[in-house]
Structure 1
Amino acid sequence: MQFAIGDRVELKSGGPEMTVQSIEGAAKCYCVWFNKEGATYKLEGSLFIQQTLKKIG
């Protein structure tokens, strides 16, 4: 499956809603999400293999 910058995704195994921020080569996406820590939100990000992701929304 191909993703585009701005797509809303999540891991096929579950987890937070993420946004594709960049595409790394043909097989990986860098995704970002917000993680609630107490009363604040922290921006998190990580690189994922595209086959582990699914589009949502």
Structure 2
Amino acid sequence: MSQTPGNVPSHLQGRFPVERIGIAIDPIAAELFKRYQSRVNVQFNRILEQELHYALNIE
């Protein structure tokens, strides 16, 4: 399979309008992201569970 710009396989071209890029960030910001990552994941999972519960059991 050939790859298109953005590393999207050619058979999926047009399905992913988002292009992944990377930029350098300040080391202090990187440390803050690491520090808050677990809290953000816990919060995301809690909200996702609430939304799924509502969608599956209440709607």
- TM-score (norm. length: structure 2): 0.25
Instruction: Give 1 or 2: higher strand fraction.
Output: 1
Determine which structure has greater relative contact order: mean sequence separation of CA pairs < 8 Å that are 6+ residues apart, divided by chain length: 1
- TM-score (norm. length: structure 1): 0.25
Higher Cα Rg, which structure: 2
